[in-house]
Every structure is written in C-alpha cells, then in structure tokens.
Amino acid sequence: MGLISVVRFLAPYLPLLPVEASLGCRPPGPVVPRPRDISRHALFTQATNKLRDALESVLVGDLEAGWAVENTSFSIGLHDSETRILPGPLGAFSVSSALGDATVPVWEYHHLAPTNTNGTKDLTRHSQYLVGSVSKVISDYILLRSGLDLDESVVVFLPELASAESLIAWNDVTLRHLANQVAGIPPNYGFSEYYYLKDYFESLGFPHIDDEAYAPCGITGLNSGCTREQFLKGMVEIHPVARPAERPVYSNIAFTLLMYAVGGQTGRNYSELLKTYVSIPLGLTNTVVSPGDDSKAVIPPVDNSWGSNYGDNAPGGGLVSSLSDLSVFIHGILDRSIFDSDTAVHEWLKPTSSTGSLYSLVGAPWEIFRAQNLTPDHPHVVDIYAKGGSAYGYQAQIAVVDEYGAGIVLLTAGSTLASSFIYDAILNMIVPTLDEIARIQAIEGGYAGTFVVGPVGSSTASSLATNRESERVTFNVTVTQDKDSLVLQCIERNGTDILASFQEIWSVTIGGFLALTPLKARMFPIDIRGKDSTTMLDGDERNILRQDWRIEWDLAPNGHTDLPGAGLSAGNCLAWTLTDWMYYGSDPIDRIVFVLDAGSGEVIGLEIPYLRSGILQPAKVF
C-alpha cells in the first residue's frame, strides 16, 4: 500500500487554489489503528445519546423531522468489527461470548409509528422490512460465493442471449460487468412502463399508443410477470444504454441475469441460492424472498409493496430482511469473516467505475461515497461502501465505514423522506466520534512518544541487544500526533539526525528523477502483522506481535515557472508510486514496526529495521 502525500504547492501565482489537507493524497485506509471496544467508550456513549435525543426530539415534534413522523417506523443498528459469534446454522446459537452474537449491533434504536396498525406490534431487531436494492448486495455475494468465473461472458451461461440480431453485445458482457453495474444494459424490463398511467400521459400530450406497443410481459396493469423464456427473449430486443465496461448504468435486470446464470450452474432457484449461500451459513432467519412473514413485518400505513411477489425480479430488489440479519452480514464484512480470506473482502469493496462526481464511485454493487467533510477536526476523505434500497413504502441503507471498522444499517417503513435524513444524522454524529476515539486510543495505546535505547549503563539501556552492546549505539525516535496523523518527529541515531540525513540522501536519489522535496514524515498503519512471537524485554519473556506502518512524506514541488498552470498536475497524487521505493541493505526506508504486547495490544516497542535498531522501548518518564 502506498503511503506518501503531496502538499499542494501554494505559490502566490495560484491564489485561488484551496488549501489542501495534508492527507489529501493518502491512499485509503485507516489513519491510525481502527478504534477498539467502542461500545464501552464514553465518547461513543455520548454520541449515541445525542443521536437518540435528536431522534426523540423529532419524534415528539420539538425539532422538524422533515418526514411524516406519525406514519414512519424505523430501525437503526451501528456495528463494530470486533469478533462475534455467528448465530450458526438455522439460527441455533451454540456458543455465547462476552462480546455477544453478531445479530446484536453495538447500538440500536427502533421506532414503531403509532399508525402502524398492520404487521408487528413489537418492533425489534428481528422485525422484517422490505430492503429493496440492498438485495443486490446479497445477490452479488451469492455470485461471488458460487465460484463461477466472473470474467466469462454471460452468454456462456445463458446461450439464449447469443443472438446475432441483439442490439446489446451480450457476447462482450461478463458476469463481472453485470455484478458491477457496468454492463451498459437497461435498468428494467417492463417495470419502467407506467401503463396504468397511460391515459394521464395522453392527457399531458403524449401520443396514443396501442397495447401491442408494450412488452409482452412484466407490464403492471396490462400483462403478467415475465417467464424466464419471455424475459431472455426480451433481452435480445432491448436497446443498450452504454457499451459494456464503459460507464456505470444502474440495472435491476442485471441481477436477474446473474441469478439465472448461477441457478443454471447449480440447479437452484433464487430462494434456494439464498438459503444455500447466505441464510444457512450465516444463520440468517429473516432474509427471504418477498413475501415475508406478516406477523413479524413492519407494514406502514402508506401505499406499500409489502407482500409483493417480485418474481424473477427478486434478485435486484425483492428481499425481505431484518436489522439482526443485516447486522450479521455487515459484521462479517467488517471482521472479514464473510469470505474465507481478507483478500476476498478487500476485492469485493473495490470500486470498478467512476461517476460524474469525484466523490462517488461504483462497485459490486457498492455505491461508494468518498465523504470529504465528515471529520472537520481532522479533515480527510472517508470512504463509505454503501448500498441504498427502495420499495414502495420502504427505504433501506447499509454502509461499511471500513476505516473505522464500523457499519450502519438503517431500515425505514413509511415516508420516503426519512431514510436519507436519518442516515445523514448518523454519519454526522457518529463518524467524527469514531475518528476521535481512534486518535485518542492511538495515544493511550502508546503509539506516540519517545522510543530509546541509551548507552550501556544509562537508565534506558535495559534492553540493549548484545550485538549493539558492543557497538554502543544510542537511539532516540520520537513520534508525535498532529491534527492529521502520527508524525515521525525525530530519529536520532548515536547523536545524528537521521531524518535530516534522509533529506540529504533524497536529493541524490529520488530527487534525481522527481522534483519534490520531502517535508514531514507521516506514519500510517498498514494491515500487515507478524505472527505472535516471544522476546526478552527488561529481563522478562514477552509475547509480542509486530505491526507494520509506513512513512508517507508530505512533499512540496520544487522550482518555479512563469508558465501558466504550475502545480496543476500535483492534484494527480502520483506520490503513491514512491512507497517502498528506497532500500538500505534489504530493508525499506519507509518501514516502521510497532511492537505490541500480544495480549493487551499496547505498544511496548518500536523497530526501525533499516537502521538495525532492534526493539527500542518507550523512554521512561522520571
């Protein structure tokens, strides 16, 4: 992972450029280690109490809600990434754990609207809601679990699409394109028609058309839902929206096609796939193809789709789920247990296409929001891997804020306006708190401070390794925290300022091909840890683990020109290409290793491998 940031050069001839935060070019990932044990942290309690107060103020009318409060029920769950126990196959809890089971969020809030007369009277985390397009996340998960080769053409699985007459180049459309919303195919087939408003359209000046002009199936009010044969036949008659792999085009029918493909290979229909790959392994009890269970359902008094049969459209938007089930799912992403490897989770969260906005990317089927203003005290981009969903009368939102190991599940029934207002309030009130907790815990955990080994006989020399004892080298490494990140303030080796030496060396190495000057050495954790091992420290045998960090220099461009545009391309942030660039005797000069107590996670030492420092220890305060 590359970790170098560029400070925009703010020359007087570029007066209109905004001052960029120092973390402007940092690749995604935590700034300091993810916060731990948030449910017991006073700041988290404070923030969730404030959120609860705000929600209660709008519910009683002290603050303006912006939605029909009397008609709207909702459930909110916040999640962390600490290890939890899965409910186990078919919801049978086999083990209990101090941290509880994965169906229980670290914080939850439920509100049942008084006018919610149908459905459940007891709104809990196990109550069922329609989740609309959040279903796409589950369907993509089924696809990824199925083991199908995502880079095969969809035609391999659905030969019906291989028609020479087709306007859509189905041969070029892969399963991956469909999963990532870049197939360039329409959102819907049939569903996009408003046949039941035909007269209204005509009254507003649209030409009269005959019923034969409509597709032969899937038109509400005209004909019935499409059979698989009708649907696939329709697919070779519809217009493409974009070329495959060119740009994101939101598509519900992509998910119908994907589940046909997986179903064809496995001999299972969608509800069986859902059971096989999701509900049984994760122990989900409320995630089913609509219709759900009326007695457990949150059914709003407004027009709604509860009880609908989505037919073969279900993979794109026809699932019912609950806060408890989505908690398990989100938690599995946060603690990486949802796949067999961390790599698979990282890969799943990666965007594959961009949108018109710098801050909005598209994945499988993640709607990735690169939020800029969430942590005003420590400005940096926070990536939110999210998916929203809608059904008549229902809005759902799930979000993974991976930097903090945090997740959000929000389910609403009633007004369509409530979801985004509540979601924004959660982001606004919770994310800055998680950021603050992480920074406080970095200090409490011992990441900042002075790490030393002194001359033999000095008070801090207790851990001198024998090979250095003969060399009599002293070290003083000082790590501080500024507004943005941890900073490597000083490395003194036997009295020489190594950071100053590095800057000299830069000018005859990297500086030889890049017109940039390193200013400040920022440090970021990377998710690389050694195995537990034991070592002697202060005469005790300690169980330790090594945690890798990398230095990312704030860089300033050199030189000056009177040509227009100077500094423009610095915004391209190419400094990430310098990570791990320079070595000294097989060790990279940007690698810093924190040595943690394997039990408590406290920092008990620091190593600078390229300087052969051995384990330096926190300077004792006298």
Residues involved in catalysis: 133, 250
Residue 271 within binding range of ligand NAG, rule CB under 6 A: yes
Taking the complex as a whole, the smallest distance from the CB of residue 253 to ligand NAG amounts, in Å, to: 17
How many whole angstroms separate alpha carbon 521 and alpha carbon 8?
Answer: 16
Residue 54 within binding range of ligand NAG, rule CB under 6 A: no
Q: What are phi and psi of 487, to 5 degrees?
A: -130, 135
Q: What is the DSSP string of 115-166?
A: T--SB-SS--TT-BEE-GGGHHHHHHHHHHHHT--TTSBHHHH-GGG--TT-
- How many residues form the binding site for ligand NAG (CB under 6 A)? 19
Closer to ligand NAG by CB, 21 or 418: give it: 418
Given the rule CB under 6 A, which of 122-130, 431-439, 466-474, 561-569 is the region that contacts ligand NAG? 466-474
Alpha-carbon distances, residue 136 vs 253, 347, 365, 613 (angstroms): 10, 17, 7, 51
Given the rule CB under 6 A, which of 81-89, 365-373, 472-480, 543-551 is the region that contacts ligand NAG? 472-480
Closer to ligand NAG by CB, 71 or 441: give it: 71
How many whole angstroms separate alpha carbon 258 and alpha carbon 255?
Answer: 5
Taking the complex as a whole, the smallest distance from the CB of residue 573 to ligand NAG amounts, in Å, to: 31
- Helix, strand, or coil (residue 157): helix
Q: Are the C-beta atoms of residues 587 and 580 closer than 8 Å to each other?
A: no
Q: Which of 471, 482, 504, 580 binds ligand NAG (CB under 6 A)?
A: 471
How many whole angstroms separate alpha carbon 491 and alpha carbon 468?
Answer: 17
Q: Which of 472, 501, 569, 602 binds ligand NAG (CB under 6 A)?
A: 472
Beta-bridge mates of residue 480: 487
Residue 375 within binding range of ligand NAG, rule CB under 6 A: no
Closest CA to 446 of 545, 608, 615, 594: 594
How many whole angstroms separate alpha carbon 327 and alpha carbon 322?
Answer: 8
Residue 452 within binding range of ligand NAG, rule CB under 6 A: yes
Taking the complex as a whole, the smallest distance from the CB of residue 619 to ligand NAG amounts, in Å, to: 5
Residue 467 within binding range of ligand NAG, rule CB under 6 A: no
Structure tokens at 546: 């090594």
Helices assigned H by DSSP within 532-595: none
Given the rule CB under 6 A, which of 16-24, 124-132, 468-476, 499-507 is the region that contacts ligand NAG? 468-476
Residue 476 within binding range of ligand NAG, rule CB under 6 A: yes
Q: Are the C-beta atoms of residues 534 and 544 closer than 8 Å to each other?
A: yes
Q: Which of 429, 465, 490, 545 binds ligand NAG (CB under 6 A)?
A: 490
Residue 433 is given by DSSP the state H
- Helix, strand, or coil (residue 255): helix
Q: Are the C-beta atoms of residues 404 and 374 closer than 8 Å to each other?
A: no
Residue 459 within binding range of ligand NAG, rule CB under 6 A: no
Given the rule CB under 6 A, which of 181-189, 236-244, 403-411, 469-477 is the region that contacts ligand NAG? 469-477
Residue 68 within binding range of ligand NAG, rule CB under 6 A: yes
Q: Which of 38, 288, 473, 555 binds ligand NAG (CB under 6 A)?
A: 473
Q: Which of 71, 251, 327, 613 binds ligand NAG (CB under 6 A)?
A: 71
Beta-bridge mates of residue 477: 451, 491
Q: Which of 39, 45, 118, 353 binds ligand NAG (CB under 6 A)?
A: 118
* Cα within 13 Å of Cα(533), Cβ side: 9
Residue 117 within binding range of ligand NAG, rule CB under 6 A: yes
Residue 465 within binding range of ligand NAG, rule CB under 6 A: no
Closer to ligand NAG by CB, 455 or 530: give it: 455
Q: Are the C-beta atoms of residues 441 and 516 closer than 8 Å to each other?
A: no
Taking the complex as a whole, the smallest distance from the CB of residue 295 to ligand NAG amounts, in Å, to: 13
Taking the complex as a whole, the smallest distance from the CB of residue 347 to ligand NAG amounts, in Å, to: 30
Which strands, in side-by-side order, build the sheet including 353-354?
107-111, 73-79, 406-413, 394-401, 382-391, 367-371, 360-362, 353-354
Q: CB 620: neighbour CB atoms within 10 A?
A: 10
Taking the complex as a whole, the smallest distance from the CB of residue 65 to ligand NAG amounts, in Å, to: 10
Closer to ligand NAG by CB, 366 or 475: give it: 475
For the chain, the first-to-last Cα distance in angstroms comes to 39
Site for ligand NAG in 275-304 (CB under 6 A): 301-302
Q: Which of 272, 504, 532, 587 binds ligand NAG (CB under 6 A)?
A: 272
Q: Which residues bind ligand NAG (CB under 6 A)?
A: 68, 71, 117-118, 269, 271-272, 301-302, 450, 452, 471-473, 476, 478, 490, 494, 619
